[in-house]
Structure 1
Amino acid sequence: MEEIIKTLTLTLARWVEAGAAIVIAISSARALWNYLRAVITDYSLVVPKEEIRLSLGRSLALALELELGADILKTAVAPTWNDIGLLAAIAVLRTALNYFLERELRNEENRRGSTSPSVPSTTSAARDDAA
């Protein structure tokens, strides 16, 4: 029974890692596509870099969380002191990366929220057009 649980847990960890790789691949391809589309279609060469970065950053934060989960699954099966130390180092690095990435994303969203121009409501815009 123990071997079955170990095999299932390691298989699950591989699937979670594969999911993280898929998230990274899709989000990177989407960011590249959005960048190229903006460059090709916008002749003023103003590319919405912040939006592309925020979207990619959110996806990378998710991928880091998935990778950490996979590492925990792998270590939970048959931990040695070496495995636990390696997991601790990986967890600290990934958590630090995720913390700083999340902080940058939050700062960027707050900055964009405070500097974005106010958009008039449709009713006041319609009144202005009618006048």
Structure 2
Amino acid sequence: MILGEWLSRLTEISAPIIDLLALVMILVGTLEAFVNGIRVMLSHPEGHYAIRSVWMRHARWLIAGLTFQLAADIIETSVAPSWDDVGRLGAIAVIRTFLNFFLERDQREIRELQHENEPRKVAST
């Protein structure tokens, strides 16, 4: 078997497996967010910080899943790229970049809020 054929067959096998891993990550993260979201909404009626923490964790799951999807698309595109494949890969890369940017910004804001609230907690005890 020629190396190119071997790589093509390996790609045909690996890309769907990586896509499945991405799907599992997104499903697990979504189920976790659903369960934790219900729990937080029932136990903290005005817990904006607690529910935001749930959504931030969910966003990390989504970014991880999207990263795996991007990896599968890169593998598929590396063998026989069409313009449709390249466009899809570019769209996924742009979406992932924007999600990552906003996630990092939200995490920074949450850390700042936590640091602002720590002295108040210490002073009130």
Classify the TM-score, shorter chain.
0.7 to 0.9
Unaligned segments of structure 2, at least 5 residues: none
Please tell me whether Structure 1 or Structure 2 has the larger radius of gyration of its CA atoms.
1
Question: Which residue of structure 2 lines up, in the alignment, with residue 101 of structure 1?
Answer: 103
Show the 5 A alignment for 1:15-26: 15-26=17-28
Please give the per-residue CA displacement for 1:67-125, whole angstroms capped at 9, x wherever unaligned: 111111110111234433432233223322332233223332x23332232466xxxx9
What is the letter of the counterpart of residue 117 of structure 1?
E
3-state SS of 2:118 partner: coil
Structure-2 residue corresponding to 1:84: 86
Runs of at least 4 residues off by over 3 Å: none
SS of 2:45's partner is coil
Q: Are the structure 2 counterparts of residues 107 and 67 from structure 1 closer, same or farther at C-alpha, using a change threshold of 3 Å? A: farther
Residue correspondence of structure 1 range 1-131 to structure 2 within 5 A:
1=2, 2-40=4-42, 42=43, 45-47=45-47, 48-108=50-110, 110-118=111-119
Give the letter for the 1:31 counterpart: A
Helix, strand or coil at the partner of 1:116:
helix
Q: What TM-score does the superposition give when structure 1 sets the normalisation length?
A: 0.73
Which has the larger share of helix? 2
Instruction: Give percent identity, aligned residues only.
Output: 31
Aligned 8 A contact 2:56 2:103 in 1: no
The size of the alignment, in residue pairs, is 118
* Cα contact 2:23–2:65 (8 A) shared by 1: yes
